[in-house]
Structure 1
Amino acid sequence: MRSKTLSFNKEIIKQDFRNVGWVSIVYFLGLFFTLPMQLFMEMSREEPRIPNGHGLFSSIFTYELQLFFLFVMPVLMAVFLFRYLHVKGASDFAHSFPMKRGRLFNHHILSGVILLILPILLNYLILFITAGVADVESYYKVTNLSYWLWLFSSMTLLIFMVGVFVGTLTGLSAVQGILTYILLVLPAGLYTLIAFHLSSYIKGYSGDVVLEQSIQYFSPLADLVKFQRYGPDTAEVPVGTIPLIIYSVVMAVFYIASLFLYKKRPLESAGRALAVRALNPVFKVGVTFCFALFGGMYFTVSQYEYGWMITGYLIGGTVGYAGASMLLEKTWRIFNGRHLKGWFAYGAFTGALIALIPFLWQNYESYVPERSEVDRVYVSGGYWQYQSMVNEEMDIPFITSPEAIQSTIDLHEQLIEVSDPLEGGRDYFFFVYQMKDGSEIYRQYSVDDKEVSEAKKAVYETEGYKNIQYPVLALESDKVNQISIDSYSGQGRKEFYDPEQITGFMEAVKEDIEGMSYEDIVTPRGLYSGVHFTVDGDPDNPFHFQLHLSFEKTMDWLKQEGFYEEAMTLPEDIHRADVYRWPQNHDFPHTDARFILDRLKEAGVEPLEVKGNEEIGSLMEGQSNQEKGAYIVAFYFDERYSDHYEVLSFDNGQAPGFIKEHFE
């Protein structure tokens, strides 16, 4: 009879309500003012704002503020509800009751669950009743409201149980709050650090792909924050059904682990950073490892040298070990022989772990698929170009011909030979192999153009690559409503809408692109104009491109239609041109024309100043993006804006005669 009476003690529940009920009240008010009250204010407006289709997760209901309360209130509940564990007198008193530890723990868990779910449920009922008496279909639907209830209830309880779990591990309330958030983001943070670490050592490893496609799966907070309400990759809800089910399972695991630790927790652990002393070495290793990776990343981003990366590992690991030791021992006096030995031991273990991670990825680095295994391949200058087409649900222009696929594989093999993940280069290559078995392989490299120029040329001149680089080749003229051409100088703009003119322009452009050589693609001639299309009424699309003088048939078409003067930059649009001799012997870290020009200007080198339209016209025949040449030309379009200029360059054989005469 006695055990039955003590199986549920309402006085403990009442005491919890008195102690932490304020957290529930704040949670209710926070959600009330961001949801029901916001709805009432919107409905009372003379001209209500138009929702963006995301229901209760739209900007009208301040989704970011909802997240603030969701992230903060469950942690506060866990900290204050179990604060007695971290105060020795309160802990001794609470555990002096004639009640088993497990039942006492469950009483507090029940109090926390009720106090956290009640604010969510009350706001749900207010919104549900409002939906029954007023027309709120344009703001949210009942199904959206029910999903909101499920999402907020599940995520609230998950964050609460993580906080409780941490509370059973530590003996300090402040540490509990901090470690709760660290644990919630630790998998995602560690994943990011390891991904960066691998991208600095492993050739072809793309941290962009890894982080963009999967970072949200490693932290519930990241999953909620990553919710896209705008843009091409917009989502209807923050978290899908399957992840919510997984989070519910994880919550149950944290409850079981918390209950087990609570039963085993020694009472004298109140006031200690970690209640379980056996976890001290694990904590030290974890903190040392994470800080070492962070230090390596910081110095790598700053210097991009392996020496500085190793320095970052040493400094970061030392700071991490010292911080963990101070926290565990609650003193800053750790600079002695015992901790020096510990620093060597933990440092050696952490260093071995850091070195082991890239070693496990060696097969990844050297792997190149066989031609017979590849169905098709995509290659471009970066991951985001590919991902933008995926987000736009466009038909991705893959390379499919056997010869072009083999050329791409040859380029890939050469990139493995010459690339260095840390040193990189000015040219980026991103590969997506779609295999015949349905799998996909991603690789990304950064090198200097001259190291792979021949293999690069074999790929760039293929029809498949041109379809990737110039999506306009796949655009049908009958879908285009408008074409806009803006000159580089900003003084010319031409728009046309006539279907016959649109068809004629696009035919000329496609013919020019299909006939382009490798040199035309990488070092086009002349100052470009930007071409933009409005397709099916939408001006936001990927069909834009740069129109250069090397598009000869397109230039002829523009002149024939009388559009050339408005669409392209003319000599009279240029205020002046400065010509420099390209230094043949220099120790500059980069070789592109613009970088060298900036160094020449900093050094005070006097240029040849050109202002005559005839001479400027001849200078406009120079090439873009060259990495070597005889002369560099800077074009200035307005004397008031000296920072607005474009750079072309000439080889000695192509340069106008008056330049050669001046510098000889």
Structure 2
Amino acid sequence: MRSKTSSFNKEIIKQDFRNVGWVSIVYFLGLFFIVPMQLFMEFGRDEPRITDDRGLFGGIFAYELQSLLLIVMPVLMAVFLFRYLHVKGASDFAHSFPMKRGKLFHHHILSGMILLILPILLNYLVLVITAGVTDVTEYYTLANASYWLWLFTTMTLLIFAAGVFVGTLTGISAVQGVLTFILLFLPVGLYGLIAFHLTSYIKGYSGDMVLDRSVQYFSPLVDLLEYRSYGPEEVSVPVEVLSLFIYGGIAILFYVASVWLYKKRPLEAAGRALAVNALNPVFKLGVTFCFALFGGMYFSVAQNTYSWMITGYVIGGTFGFAAASMLLEKTWRVFNLKNLKGWLGYGVAAGVIIAAIPLLWQSYESYVPEQNEVEKVYISSGYWEYQQLADHDMKVPYITSEAAIQSAINLHEKLINVSNPLKKGEDYFFFVYQMEDGSEIYRQYRIDEKKVRDEKKSVYETQEYKSIQYPVLALDVSEINQLLMHPYSGQVGKDLYDPEKISAFMEVLKQDLEQLSYDEMVTPKGLDTGVTFTVNGTRENPYYVRLYPSYENTMEWLKEEGMYEQVMTQAEDVQRAEVYSWPQSLDDRYSRPRFVFERLRGDDIEPLEVTNNAQIETLFEGKANKEEGAYLVAFYFDKNDPEPYEVLSFDEGDAPNFIKEHFE
């Protein structure tokens, strides 16, 4: 009789279930106690916790712990399921079966998929059955649970496929586990290193914006982990639907590549760091390149000079090459002539790549749009201010007039001429151009204000820019529920609820803000009082403004309403003031008044102490935020608090006479 051999070998499946079934059990129990069991415990509470619209991804169901299981368990499955590849005896035994290597591989893959999907599916069934017998709409919906099933199944299979792919590349199980996570994080890590590299060389490049807006698209793990199960941000699912389809496709690609590598993999590769010798040069170059970029980033952050950055490239690249060589040769004895030649070769190759990256962005650095190409422009002191508008669904206050747009372009051109990406100043400049063709252009610079003072002044004094600097100018009074005016010096302050008084206050405040000069905007006089707004029932908004004594209309209104002493800091509120002579020998790192004050206090320099109320009153004429001056004044409001509330400064000509006489 003719023998028949089935293409399916249930004994291999059964053996896999015995060997790695524990991973599936742990996965099931972990998800069960985090999700269904947590739901049952909520049913038993006398006062159930407040739920939110995030469903199974909310704080009640500990999405962060779910993510941890989702990331770790598939990797463990891949490591232990293909452990036989990395042990020579087990590898020889497994491949001695009368079965083609591809068929053996597919059996193990099928085992892993069943053992990983089963825990997810069983927990999903528990959730569905629970929804069928009781009302769970406060906690989740069937659509939410179905998305949870889809998300966990897709991401589990992706991470498992990545682990299997790495397992076919290496001959050591520990290396497989580590390299799997490195592979999944590698794109985002490289992206971040290159973004920092470009930020250090290319004027106008905004690494903050680039990373914030697209980093999640370079790693499925980051995409998972950046989701928050709490907070006021708009509710959304952890991973977008389109991304799930993409991740499913990537999982298939990993599977196809794994099959091909498995068939080509030599049996004697067990115990080697890389099973495919042809990949050794690629691995060495990649590790050398990544560590070189990391070393350059570390030393540039610490020292802010190109010489130290280059030193970091050399040190980091050397360490990376040595680590890669030790891993591949499985010994620390890699310091020999052969590896010295290799270090030079790979170092030169990595250096060429590092040097070439900024060259590709030279046109980006020098580009400034023409005025007739720009529809409108937004300028602020940083990307995060711009992003905050989007986070609160606020309309962006663009500059639209031709004269103001040209002033912004003039400022942009000056920034290109005087800025140095590595020599970061105190002031940020962030540009968003909306072009006539519908495209957007982003640029960010960091430089000291005094280098672009004239160009900055022409922009700041336009009414359109003031609507950017002070979002409260565009705030509809009818949307304000409450005003909170509280000096930081410890006075009680004042809260306004009366719509009529709120309206009157906003009228005089807007008058003062619209009349501010450039100097009053960047270096205001006196001690401020913070004003926060409750708008449409929430305080989570960017409507915040500081009141200064120079706001004449507002101060007059506060006095008429009898609030001035409560709202603004008085001389009687100051416990003491300390006056220092501003040393002219300090470098640019100590240009801000508070930084200079901290340096002087650290040097135990004896200040002029002022407690007389009349003299303290004259000290309120000092300016905030100036980067140079003749004298510093630190105000203290609590004798038990060693930190001052504010540090102001005076120029020589503006200082009170008693200060000049003391320091003569």
TM-score relative to the length of structure 2: 0.98
Shift of 1:638: 1.7
Amino acid at match of 2:62: T
Alpha-carbon distance in 2 for matches of 1:112, 1:2: 33
Question: Structure 1 residues 507 and 3, CA, compared in 2 at 3 Å: closer, same or farther?
Answer: farther
Deviations 1:327-351 (A, max 9, x none): 1111111111000000000001001
Give the conservation status (yes or no) of the 8 Å contact 1:425–1:447: yes
Give the conservation status (yes or no) of the 8 Å contact 2:527–2:549: yes
Shift of 1:69: 1.0
Map 1:6-405 to 2 at 5 A: 6-405=6-405
Alpha-carbon distance in 2 for matches of 1:588, 1:208: 24
Alpha-carbon distance in 2 for matches of 1:3, 1:556: 104
Give the conservation status (yes or no) of the 8 Å contact 1:227–1:235: no
What residue number does 1:658 align with? Answer: 658
Alpha-carbon distance in 1 for matches of 2:54, 2:627: 49
Alpha-carbon distance in 2 for matches of 1:206, 1:230: 28
Give the conservation status (yes or no) of the 8 Å contact 2:634–2:644: no
Deviations 1:360-384 (A, max 9, x none): 1111111111111111111111111
What residue number does 2:409 align with? Answer: 409
Shift of 1:232: 4.7
1:560 equivalent to 2:560? Answer yes
What residue number does 1:480 align with? Answer: 480
Question: Structure 1 residues 303 and 585, CA, compared in 2 at 3 Å: closer, same or farther?
Answer: closer
Alpha-carbon distance in 1 for matches of 2:237, 2:308: 43
Amino acid at match of 2:410: D
Aligned to 2:652, the other structure's residue is in SS state coil
Aligned residue pairs: how many?
Answer: 664
Shift of 1:89: 1.4
Shift of 1:466: 0.4
Alpha-carbon distance in 2 for matches of 1:290, 1:235: 36
Shift of 1:32: 0.7
Give the conservation status (yes or no) of the 8 Å contact 1:228–1:235: no
| Greater alpha carbon shift after TM alignment, 491-500 vs 453-462 | 491-500
Shift of 1:8: 1.0
Shift of 1:302: 1.7
Aligned to 1:5, the other structure's residue is in SS state coil
Aligned to 1:452, the other structure's residue is in SS state helix
Amino acid at match of 1:614: A
Alpha-carbon distance in 2 for matches of 1:171, 1:610: 74
Question: Structure 1 residues 90 and 6, CA, compared in 2 at 3 Å: closer, same or farther?
Answer: farther
Map 1:584-663 to 2 at 5 A: 584-587=584-587, 589-663=589-663
Map 1:451-470 to 2 at 5 A: 451-470=451-470
Question: Structure 1 residues 473 and 616, CA, compared in 2 at 3 Å: closer, same or farther?
Answer: same
What residue number does 2:433 align with? Answer: 433
Deviations 1:385-415 (A, max 9, x none): 1101101100111111111111011101100
Amino acid at match of 1:648: L
Alpha-carbon distance in 2 for matches of 1:588, 1:227: 39
Map 1:442-457 to 2 at 5 A: 442-457=442-457
Shift of 1:2: 7.9
Aligned to 2:5, the other structure's residue is in SS state helix
CA RMSD of aligned residues (A): 1.4
Amino acid at match of 2:462: T
TM-score relative to the length of structure 1: 0.98
Shift of 1:4: 5.7
Aligned to 2:285, the other structure's residue is in SS state helix
Shift of 1:629: 2.3
What residue number does 1:582 align with? Answer: 582
Give the conservation status (yes or no) of the 8 Å contact 1:630–1:649: yes
Give the conservation status (yes or no) of the 8 Å contact 1:457–1:518: yes
Aligned to 2:189, the other structure's residue is in SS state helix
Give the conservation status (yes or no) of the 8 Å contact 1:488–1:568: no
Shift of 1:469: 0.7
Amino acid at match of 2:622: G
Shift of 1:3: 9.1
**What residue ranges of structure 2 are gaps of 5+ in the alignment?**
none
Question: Structure 1 residues 586 and 266, CA, compared in 2 at 3 Å: closer, same or farther?
Answer: closer
Amino acid at match of 2:269: S
Question: Structure 1 residues 162 and 512, CA, compared in 2 at 3 Å: closer, same or farther?
Answer: same
Alpha-carbon distance in 2 for matches of 1:183, 1:156: 15
Deviations 1:540-573 (A, max 9, x none): 2111111111211111111111110000000000
Shift of 1:618: 1.1
Question: Structure 1 residues 568 and 329, CA, compared in 2 at 3 Å: closer, same or farther?
Answer: same
Give the conservation status (yes or no) of the 8 Å contact 2:485–2:495: yes
Alpha-carbon distance in 2 for matches of 1:605, 1:94: 78
Alpha-carbon distance in 2 for matches of 1:17, 1:125: 22
Alpha-carbon distance in 1 for matches of 2:588, 2:379: 30
Shift of 1:657: 2.5
Shift of 1:634: 1.4
Give the conservation status (yes or no) of the 8 Å contact 1:34–1:62: yes
Alpha-carbon distance in 2 for matches of 1:177, 1:169: 12
Alpha-carbon distance in 1 for matches of 2:592, 2:27: 57
Give the conservation status (yes or no) of the 8 Å contact 1:492–1:568: no
Alpha-carbon distance in 2 for matches of 1:267, 1:375: 64
Deviations 1:39-93 (A, max 9, x none): 1111111111121211111111111111111111111111111111111111111
Shift of 1:464: 1.2
Give the conservation status (yes or no) of the 8 Å contact 1:232–1:392: no
Shift of 1:600: 2.7
Amino acid at match of 2:255: Y
Deviations 1:156-196 (A, max 9, x none): 00000000000011111111111001001110111111111
Shift of 1:492: 3.5
Give the conservation status (yes or no) of the 8 Å contact 1:575–1:637: yes
Alpha-carbon distance in 1 for matches of 2:9, 2:111: 11
Alpha-carbon distance in 2 for matches of 1:663, 1:103: 89
Alpha-carbon distance in 1 for matches of 2:556, 2:63: 54
Alpha-carbon distance in 2 for matches of 1:571, 1:246: 64
| Greater alpha carbon shift after TM alignment, 623-632 vs 267-276 | 623-632
Question: Structure 1 residues 164 and 408, CA, compared in 2 at 3 Å: closer, same or farther?
Answer: same
